[in-house]
Amino acid sequence: MDSEITLRVDGRRETLSVDTRTTLLDALRERLGVTSPKKGCDHGQCGACTVLLDGRRATSCLTFAVANEHSEVVTAEGLAEKDEPHPVQQALLDNDGFQCGYCTPGQVCSAVGMLDEVKSGWPSYVTDDLEEPVELDEDEIRERMSGNLCRCGAYANIVTAIREAAE
Amino acid sequence: MKPFDYQRATDADSAIATVSRDPEARYIGGGTNLVDHMKLGVTQPGKLVDITRLPYDSVESLPDGRVRIGATVRNSDLAAEPVIRQRYPLLAQALLSGASGQLRNLATTGGNLLQRTRCPYFQDVTTPCNKREPGSGCSALEGWNRHHAVLGASERCVATHPSDMAVALAALDADVLVEGPDGQRTVPVTELHRLPGDEPEQDTVLRHGELVTAVELPPLPFAVRSRYRKVRDRASYAFALVSVAAAVEVSDGAITEARIAFGGLAHKPWRATAAERALHGAPATEETFRAAADAELAEAETLRDNEFKIPMTRNTLAAVLRELTQQEGS
């Protein structure tokens, strides 16, 4: 069963007809050619498909495209300003925050969303005092980024890069 | 995946009417569990009614001191809500211990309550499972059952309920507001989920077409001193082996109020009334904490791989109560 939807993807307005079974991830990759969100597990367990959905990080594999009518989607591709990488992207480059790079676009979107959450004062499970401002130390970054797996194990440098980008 | 019709609900009455008259129709919220189940073939709805744009997306402090949480409030928003962080820290902690940041941004309050077990046999359509296919058998009974129930299980099903949020809500005596084709009703959260018995396919007491619209928290002033602690196979982003939600009040070294619930032990969030009775009026000591755990676990029955849950529950409860009562004394 097909349904017509309109989305904004990395600043472009896109109208397309999708089978209701199409996930947002598949619509981006297979229909719109936006391949920076990656299909890792396709079950919400790895974070490789993370995009910013109406400004918040979300796993695009666990939401149907049809449920996101009029949504604003920003992928890792859309974060760069022309040839200038986003500060989180630059920090990952500067700190060797990846090896094969497959999880990286998801890590980038997740980190950008996460830093906004910290700015909004959201606590995490490792935040001692739920009413005090958050201090983004290594434990906080590791907890907040736990939804993004890196099978190369580049975590140490990902944490360093995010700390740098947060400054 | 089976083809399905998708409708975006604009008002609750028509959504309820649509789902009630179609046995193949289902509500969808954030979709983090349902979409996965549709991919896996665990469930095959013919119609989805999306309720995320219904006006149930706010948290309100009511004049009588209660707090009403709309069913479509996202888990991340609820955990960040000042009134929850101040008055019900165990609930904020439980939410923050669940899933990952990107999943909490999608997942809703109602959907979190109604998520289904992560038993691997339930999710694997090639294996027998009484919950997925009544009468087919339980693969976990003699299979891999490290994550399975030690309290309230049956020969038909040893699955556990995966929600952290619901464990905190059980400790708080929250109410679930439900609307159905025959009007509204209120279900205490401790009575929302069922034990498996002979019908493990029924997770809850909700009837087809009924819609969770809100959750209400009672005032419960002593919950300002409360804690949710979760023990799991890795430090983050995993389901509980054992979890403890607790709120206590201490006066002159004795426990005057206690609310305790366990996660990871049963087919439902487990309100530990026997442990609470053992704590009431008793001195806030290590012996009391361990005796309270033992009182609750007296009826526990373990499986091949999950005996460790008994000492783990005892130790976790004692650790949480020690922390809460030391805070109180200082």
Lowest-pLDDT choice from A34-38, A89-93, B68-72, B326-330: B326-330
Maximum Cα interatomic distance, chain A, rounded to a whole number of Å: 49
Compare all CA atoms of chain A with the CA of B94 and give the residue at the minimum distance.
A125
**CATH code at A46?**
3.10.20.30
Give the Cα separation of A95 and A158 in Å (integer).
8
Q: Would you call B100 an interface residue with chain A, using a CB distance cutoff of 8 Å? A: yes
On whether both A133 and A94 belong to a single domain, the answer is yes
ipTM confidence score: 0.98
Give the Cα separation of B230 and B239 in Å (integer).
9
On whether both A67 and A7 belong to a single domain, the answer is yes
Write down the pLDDT at residue A31.
98
**Record: contact A117-B86, CB cut-off 8 A:** no
pLDDT of residue B257 exceeding 90, the answer is yes
pLDDT of residue B242 exceeding 80, the answer is yes
| Mean pLDDT value of segment B253-258 | 97
On whether both A103 and A160 belong to a single domain, the answer is yes
pLDDT of residue A80 exceeding 70, the answer is yes
**CATH code at A104?**
1.10.150.120
On whether both A113 and A138 belong to a single domain, the answer is yes
Name the domain boundary from A34, A59, A79. A79
Give the A-side interface with B, CB within 8 Å: 1, 3, 19-21, 23, 42-44, 47, 50, 53, 56-59, 62-64, 66-67, 69, 110, 113-114, 117, 120-125, 127, 130-131, 142-148
Residue B143: phi, psi to the nearest 5? -105, -145
**Record: contact A131-B3, CB cut-off 8 A:** no
Name the domain boundary from A56, A79, A102. A79
Token pair 């590791």 in the structure block, residue: A142
CB contact at 8 A, B317 and B244: yes
On whether both A22 and A61 belong to a single domain, the answer is yes
On whether both A72 and A101 belong to a single domain, the answer is no
- Counting residues of chain A whose pLDDT is more than 70, the rounded percentage is 100
On whether both A25 and A46 belong to a single domain, the answer is yes
On whether both A112 and A50 belong to a single domain, the answer is no
On whether both A162 and A96 belong to a single domain, the answer is yes
CB contact at 8 A, B245 and B90: yes
**Record: contact B36-A144, CB cut-off 8 A:** no
CB contact at 8 A, B75 and B113: no
C-alpha B13 chain-centroid distance? 27
Write down the pLDDT at residue B327.
67
Maximum Cα interatomic distance, chain B, rounded to a whole number of Å: 64
Domain hosting residue A69, numbered range: 2-79
Confidence band, pLDDT 50/70/90 cuts, at residue B30: very high
Give the Cα separation of A105 and B199 in Å (integer).
44
Mutate to test the interface with A, among B42, B81, B96, B100 (most CBs of A within 10 A): B100
Compare all CA atoms of chain A with the CA of B83 and give the residue at the minimum distance.
A131
- Looking at the structure of chain A, the number of domains it has is 2
Nearest Cα of chain B lies from the Cα of A27 at a distance, in angstroms, of 15
On whether both A154 and A91 belong to a single domain, the answer is yes
Compare all CA atoms of chain B with the CA of A110 and give the residue at the minimum distance.
B102
* B126-141 residue pLDDT tens: 999 999 999 999 999 9
Write down the pLDDT at residue B328.
52
Nearest to B3 among A21, A50, A146 (CB): A21
Tokens of B45: 């709805």
DSSP per residue over chain A, as a string? -EEEEEEEETTEEEEEEEETT-BHHHIIIIIS---SS--SSSSSSS-TTEEEETTEEEEGGGSBGGGGTT-EEE-HHHHSBTTB--HHHHHHHHTT--SS-TTHHHHHHHHHHHHHHHHTT---TT-S-TTSPP---HHHHHHHTTT---TT--HHHHHHHHHHHH-
Nearest Cα of chain B lies from the Cα of A29 at a distance, in angstroms, of 18
**Record: contact B28-A67, CB cut-off 8 A:** yes
| Mean pLDDT value of segment A56-63 | 98
Chain A residues whose CB is inside 8 A of the B35 CB are: 23, 62-64
Name the domain boundary from A54, A79, A104. A79
Compare all CA atoms of chain B with the CA of A114 and give the residue at the minimum distance.
B101
10 Å Cβ neighbour count for B26? 19
Write down the pLDDT at residue B330.
42
* B160-179 residue pLDDT tens: 999 999 999 999 999 999 99
* B206-225 residue pLDDT tens: 999 999 999 999 999 999 99
CA atoms within 13 A on the CB side of B233: 6
Q: Domains plus CATH for chain B?
A: 5-52 (3.30.43.10), 226-329 (3.30.390.50)
Chain A residues whose CB is inside 8 A of the B30 CB are: 62-63
On whether both A117 and A64 belong to a single domain, the answer is no
User: Distances from the Cα of B6 to the Cαs of A2, A18, A37, B282, B299, in angstroms?
Assistant: 9, 12, 25, 56, 46
Tokens of B164: 């952290």
Write down the pLDDT at residue A82.
84
On whether both A113 and A145 belong to a single domain, the answer is yes
Mutate to test the interface with A, among B2, B36, B90, B102 (most CBs of A within 10 A): B102
